[in-house]
Structure 1
Amino acid sequence: MAKVEKFAFHVPSLEELAGVLQKGLKENFADALVSVVDCPDLTQEPFTFPVKGICGKPRIADVGGVPHLLPLVQKDKVYDLNTVAKEIELPGAFILGAGAASSRILGVNAELIPIAQTETEQKHAVNASYTARINPTDGGCLLEKYKYSGFGLLANLFASQGQPGKVIEVKANGRTGQHNFITCLRHILEKHYGDKPVGMGGTFLIQKGKAKMHIMPPEFSACPLNTDEEVNNWLKFFEMKAPLVCQPVIVSRDPGFDLRLEHTHGFSHYGEGGHYHNDTTPDSVEYLGYFMPAELLFRIDRPKETHLIGRD
């Protein structure tokens, strides 16, 4: 049984959070508007999620970690979304986020874009997850539906009861700062709340522009990857066009659990997806996001030996 550690986040009101983000985003984007709104119906396009919202007992799970992948892979590190839902004390949770697909199931290494309502004793799971992997025929991106609950190595997950309710809407156009959309949000939270960690998750659209994304190669590295440069030489990078639907998980500051502070995967309806790094069209990019602050953090199976490589 994986060790589970628990921590209560600082949870600002939505109104306070909207004000903090509004002020900070103006330093990074030409145009930014943050407001408290009713969560749009996420079962509709372009989201096509199995639930209507991201509200109800919101929490974050940081499962495993990059040290299970680097410098050399630990293939015995396997997890399950349905089990995670129970470990975070929310069976039947709706889960969004970013992780690694199960190489045992797929036979290859791949990015996991988890979008799933987990099972309960009364209801079967509803899985709308995707994987993005390298297409063996042309070296491009192969985006496929992933009907399994198993995953491997690591994941950063935002979970809730999947209910409608009030959320924070963030509109940001024309990036003027160096950092990507999610790093901007995280830095704003860290600067304002300092040593009171705030967690946040949800979904955002890249409505216009293009983004730099990566997909892990199908084969794990046979030689140790010991630096960020070695990791980046191993990863396959792509420029993907809007519209992209992304699932971020953000923690403003690590309260001592060896967390990955931000992790975002995304998919499209035209057949591409992967791990989001930044937009490549800062002048024309348009973001639209819906976020909820998390109440609790669950750290599941924290790596015994750790490092900070490969966490961007």
Structure 2
Amino acid sequence: MACAEFSFHVPSLEELAGVMQKGLKDNFADVQVSVVDCPDLTKEPFTFPVKGICGKTRIAEVGGVPYLLPLVNQKKVYDLNKVAKEIKLPGAFILGAGAGPFQTLGFNSEVIEVKAKRRTGPLNFVTCMRQTLEKHYGNKPVGMGGTFIIQKGKVKSHIMPAEFSSCPLNSDEEVNKWLHFYEMKAPLVCLPVFVSRDPGFDLRLEHTHFFSHHGEGGHYHYDTTPDIVEYLGYFLPAEFLYRIDQPKKSHSIGRD
């Protein structure tokens, strides 16, 4: 597989915390961003297989939406063990949405803790953080990964149908008619990956999937209960981007 490597701009955790505190205040009533020791993520509600998300952080964007739309290419199946070797971290802990996993060594160290309550603006939690970083760092791309919990409230989400579409999906409207949309309730454990600006690799700039211990899961769009929603997240900047098997022909469909 073709693989390109890119070095992200990596600000200090303290600097990032200050930038995100300021940006999130424009979209949430109550915001607290600080640098803390990573909590033990093997415990509930996370139940991850490693204690932390620190150590040699990378974002791997593998394939892309053009392999799904307009028609699926079912030959595009990836072995995550091979992906881990491709990014020079064999045996890495991999988390994130399917289209953009975030790799670490699973160490327990310092992370950025983000608490945000009561959404007052139009942006979802992830988009607000991503656009805040883009506004501040401009043409210096910053990549982020980690996890957050939606502690209170409900979210709009989607899951894919059991079967791929047999008809070409040539617009976002057609994609949305094919997907199944639901409102799902907290608590939800989310796995986001986001990049402030695409450095020229046809990236999906943000992508978040979530699971729960009450049987609900899917792709996160935004909360539907802004007056009561509460987010608690732990994030780290990625050192490198690895763009693997980038589609030669692309489009802008299905990137929400």
For the aligned pair, the TM-score class normalised by the smaller chain equals over 0.9
Alpha-carbon distance between aligned partners in 1 of 2:87 and 2:129, rounded to the nearest angstrom: 25
For the pair 1:84 / 2:71, whether they are aligned, the reply is no
Alpha-carbon distance between aligned partners in 2 of 1:304 and 1:209, rounded to the nearest angstrom: 41
Alpha-carbon distance between aligned partners in 1 of 2:154 and 2:6, rounded to the nearest angstrom: 36
Q: Match of 1:68?
A: 67
Alpha-carbon distance between aligned partners in 1 of 2:159 and 2:244, rounded to the nearest angstrom: 24
For the pair 1:187 / 2:186, whether they are aligned, the reply is no
- Give the count of matched residue pairs: 256
Classify the secondary structure of the residue corresponding to 1:61: strand
Alpha-carbon distance between aligned partners in 1 of 2:121 and 2:178, rounded to the nearest angstrom: 28
Alpha-carbon distance between aligned partners in 2 of 1:303 and 1:65, rounded to the nearest angstrom: 7
The percent of aligned pairs where both chains have the same amino acid is: 77
How far the C-alpha of 1:222 sits from its partner, in A, is 1.0
How far the C-alpha of 1:196 sits from its partner, in A, is 0.1
Q: Match of 1:113?
A: none
- Provide the alpha-carbon RMSD of the alignment: 0.5
Alpha-carbon distance between aligned partners in 1 of 2:61 and 2:32, rounded to the nearest angstrom: 29
Q: Match of 2:188?
A: 244
How far the C-alpha of 1:80 sits from its partner, in A, is 1.1
Output the amino acid matched with 2:210.
G
Cα displacement string for residues 78-128 of structure 1 (whole angstroms, at most 9, x for unaligned residues): 1011111101110111110111xxxxxxxxxxxxxxxxxxxxxxxxxxxxx
Classify the secondary structure of the residue corresponding to 1:195: coil
Q: Match of 1:36?
A: 35
Alpha-carbon distance between aligned partners in 2 of 1:218 and 1:44, rounded to the nearest angstrom: 31
Q: Match of 1:197?
A: 141
1:13-32 equivalences in 2 (<5 Å): 13-32=12-31
1:1-312 equivalences in 2 (<5 Å): 2-99=1-98, 155-312=99-256
Cα displacement string for residues 24-63 of structure 1 (whole angstroms, at most 9, x for unaligned residues): 0000001110000000000000000000000000110000
Q: Structure 2 length normalisation: TM-score?
A: 0.99
Classify the secondary structure of the residue corresponding to 1:98: coil
* 5+ residue gaps, structure 1: 100-154
Classify the secondary structure of the residue corresponding to 1:217: coil
How far the C-alpha of 1:75 sits from its partner, in A, is 0.3
How far the C-alpha of 1:248 sits from its partner, in A, is 0.1
Cα displacement string for residues 124-150 of structure 1 (whole angstroms, at most 9, x for unaligned residues): xxxxxxxxxxxxxxxxxxxxxxxxxxx
Output the amino acid matched with 2:73.
Q
Classify the secondary structure of the residue corresponding to 2:59: strand
Alpha-carbon distance between aligned partners in 2 of 1:9 and 1:191, rounded to the nearest angstrom: 16
Q: Match of 1:123?
A: none
Cα displacement string for residues 147-197 of structure 1 (whole angstroms, at most 9, x for unaligned residues): xxxxxxxx2110000000000000000011111100000000000000000
Output the amino acid matched with 1:267.
F
Q: Larger strand proportion, structure 1 or 2?
A: 1
How far the C-alpha of 1:304 sits from its partner, in A, is 1.2
How far the C-alpha of 1:219 sits from its partner, in A, is 1.1
